[in-house]
Structure 1
Amino acid sequence: MMLQRQAVPVLGVDATPLDVAGLTGVLNRFVADGTTRTVVGHNLHSVTLFHSEPEFRKFYEDSDVVLIDGAPVLWLWGRGKNHSVPVMDYRLGSTDWIPALGEVGGLERIAVLGAGPVANARAVAKLQSIVPGATVSGMPGDGWNEDIEEAAAAWLAEQRPQLVLVGLGMPLQEEVLRRRLDSLPPAVYCAVGGAIEQIAGIQKLAPRWLGRLGLEWAWRLLLHPRRVAYRVLGEPWVLLGLLVRRRLQRRTAAAGEGSSRTSGP
Structure 2
Amino acid sequence: MTLPRQHVPFLEVDATPMTVDELTDVLDGFIAEGGTRTIVGHNLHSVTLLHSDPGFRSFYEQSDVVLIDGAPVLWLWAKSLEGDGAKERSMDYRLGSTDWIPALAKIKGLERIAVIGAGSQANAQAVARLQDVVRHAQVEGMPGEGWNDELEARAVAWLGEQRPQLVLLGLGMPLQEHVLQRNRAALPPAVYCTVGGAIEQIAGIQKLAPRWIGRVGLEWAWRLLLHPKRVAYRVFGEPWVLMGLLVRRQLRQRLRERRQR
Q: SS of the counterpart of 2:58?
A: helix
Matches within 5 A, 1:53-202: 53-81=53-81, 87-90=89-92, 91-202=94-205
| Partner Cα separation in structure 1 for residue 27 and residue 133 of structure 2 | 15
Post-superposition CA distance 1:17-41 (Å, at most 9, x none):
1010000000000000000000000
Q: C-alpha distance in 1, partners of 2:70/2:81?
A: 19
TM-superposed deviation, 1:225: 0.3
The structure having more radius of gyration, on CA atoms, is 1
Kindly tell me the number of residue pairs found equivalent between the two proteins.
257
SS at match of 1:49: helix
| Structure 2 CA distance for aligned equivalents of residues 40 and 82 of structure 1 | 26
SS of residue in 1 equivalent to 2:242: helix
**How far, CA to CA, are the matches of 1:99 and 1:182 in structure 2?**
29
CA deviations 1:115-148 (Å, max 9, x no partner) are 0000000110111011101100000000000000
Task: Report deviation, 1:55.
Answer: 0.4
* Counterparts of 1:2 and 1:48, CA distance in 2: 25
CA drift of 1:82 comes to 5.4
Q: Any idea what the Cα deviations from partners look like across 1:13-69, whole Å, max 9, x if unmatched?
A: 000010100000000000000000000000000000000000000000000000001
Residue in structure 1 matching 2:243, options 235, 240, 245 = 240
Matches within 5 A, 1:217-236: 217-236=220-239
Query: Helix, strand or coil for the counterpart of 2:147?
Result: coil
* Separation (CA, whole Å) in 2 of partners of 1:136 and 1:203: 21
Report the equivalent of 2:51.
Answer: 51
Give 3-state SS (helix, strand or coil) of 1:7's partner.
Answer: strand
Q: TM-score of the superposition, structure 2-length normalised? A: 0.97
Match of 1:31 in 2: 31
Length-normalised TM-score, structure 1: 0.95
C-alpha distance in structure 2 between counterparts of 1:5 and 1:123, whole Å? 32
Instruction: Using the TM superposition, give the Cα deviation of residue 181 of structure 1 relative to its aligned residue in structure 2, in angstroms.
Output: 1.5
Sequence identity, in percent?
A: 70
CA drift of 1:209 comes to 1.3
Structure 2 equivalent of residue 263 of structure 1: none
Deviation per CA, 1:198-254, whole angstroms, max 9, x where unpaired?
011100011111111100000000000000100111000000000001011111111
Q: Distance in 1 between matches of 2:182 and 2:91?
A: 35
SS at match of 1:182: coil
Write the distance in 2 (CA, Å) between the matches of 1:203 and 1:81. Answer: 34
Counterpart residue identity of residue 116, structure 1: G
The structural deviation recorded for 1:177 is 0.3
Residue 81 of structure 1 deviates from its aligned partner by: 3.9
The 1-side partners of 2:166 and 2:225 are apart by: 33
1:16 matched residue in structure 2: 16
Q: Does the CA-based 8 Å contact 1:19-1:88 persist in structure 2?
A: no
Counterpart-to-counterpart distance in 1, 2:257 and 2:241: 24
Give 5+ residue unaligned stretches, structure 2.
none
